Amino acid sequence: MGNRYFEVLERASSFLEKQGVEGYSILYVFLERKGWSKTDWLIHLKDEITSEEQYQLEKDVQQLAEHYPAQYILGYSDFYEQRFQVNEHTLIPRPETEELVDLCLAENSDSILNVADIGTGTGAIAISLKAQRPNWQVAAVDISPEALVVAKKNAEQLKTEIQFYQGDLLEPLIEKKIDILISNPPYISNKEWALMDTSVRTFEPKSALFAENDGLAIYQRLAKEAPALLTPEGKIYLEIGFQQGEAVKELFQQAFPKKVVRVIQDLSGNDRMVTVRPSKKRA
């Protein structure tokens, strides 16, 4: 009698745990490859595994044991109910960033607005916004040509029309006026390197993760560049590190003295977003 799915997966999971990797990751990759739900898994877990499946599973376990992210193994990650291609040139989209998209959508209607996503990576923010707000004119900027290749493929696949620009922060948009500026920029300080998960440190693009000046360098530049491009009624939505709320708020309050700058918590109760909005009072 051959090996049954649950026995093989159990062994693989225990092996990964010993390597300091979450054991569940192999079941996740296995179910994704099979296109199975948890219910399918319960129905089939005592079935025999084929030699082809066994071979694929061993390859996947080997990569996971080296802390290679499951999303890179599969080549995709789900974000805001859509599937995005990912590879080592792009960050893997995070659930916290879905909260940034949620907030932006909750506060803005589908009237015609010029929106800029700075540091777009996979295009997850830009594409999710455009899918929900078809009237928005969405521009997405990234300094990495390789990331933009992935973002353009995602936009095409998800049938969203985005204008992509390769360049450094707001520099490619210098001729434009922006109603909404949104960004999940690199914000991890070099001091936090040791605290990062091995898979993140080893495989995700460092230029999309780390920033100088205790992780504040990109916010400092955005605060300097944004006033020239943002319309009088314009708004800014930023994802931040959980310890950066007050520092980022101060930067943008100085850059926009007449606007209201707020720090907003994520669902876990950590400071996660900073918003810049027009004051309701009119002079």
In this predicted model, what pLDDT tens digit does every residue of 154-185 receive, in sequence order? Answer: 999 999 999 999 999 999 998 889 999 999 98
91 domain-assigned:
yes
Instruction: For the full predicted model, state whether its pTM sits above 0.95.
Output: no
Give the residue ranges of the annotated binding site: 119-123, 142, 184-187
Give the per-residue pLDDT at 216.
80
Between CA 252 and CA 64 the distance in angstroms is: 41
Give the per-residue pLDDT at 283.
41
Residues 140 and 12 in one domain: no
Between CA 186 and CA 142 the distance in angstroms is: 12
Nearest Cα neighbor of 274 from 223, 203, 206 is 223
Give the per-residue pLDDT at 91.
86
Give the residue ranges of the annotated binding site for substrate: 184-187
Q: Are 128 and 60 in contact (CB under 8 A)?
A: no
- Number of domain units in the chain: 2
Beta strands in the chain (DSSP E): 76-79, 82-85, 114-118, 137-142, 163-166, 178-183, 230-239, 259-265, 271-278
207 domain-assigned:
yes
187 domain-assigned:
yes
75 domain-assigned:
no
Residues 25 and 100 in one domain: no
Residues 61 and 120 in one domain: no
Residue 113 lies in domain = 80-278
103 domain-assigned:
yes
Residues 228 and 146 in one domain: yes
Q: Are 263 and 270 in contact (CB under 8 A)?
A: no
Rg of the chain on CA atoms, in Å = 21
Residues 228 and 90 in one domain: yes
Residues 158 and 271 in one domain: yes
Give the per-residue pLDDT at 220.
92
Q: Give the up-direction half-sphere exposure of residue 163: CA atoms within 13 A in the CB hemisphere.
A: 11
73 domain-assigned:
no
Contacts of 193 (CB under 8 A, 6+ apart): 201, 210
> For the chain, which ranges sit under pLDDT 50?
1, 282-283
71 domain-assigned:
no
Residues 56 and 164 in one domain: no
**How close are the terminal C-alpha atoms of the chain, in Å?**
81
Q: Are 16 and 65 in contact (CB under 8 A)?
A: yes
Give the residue ranges of the annotated binding site for S-adenosyl-L-methionine: 119-123, 142, 184
Give the per-residue pLDDT at 1.
43
* CATH number of the domain that residue 198 is part of: 3.40.50.150
Residues 136 and 229 in one domain: yes
72 domain-assigned:
no
Task: At 85, give phi and psi (nearest 5°).
Answer: -65, 140
Residues 108 and 193 in one domain: yes
Residues 50 and 179 in one domain: no
Give the per-residue pLDDT at 214.
61
Residues 44 and 135 in one domain: no
Residues 98 and 222 in one domain: yes
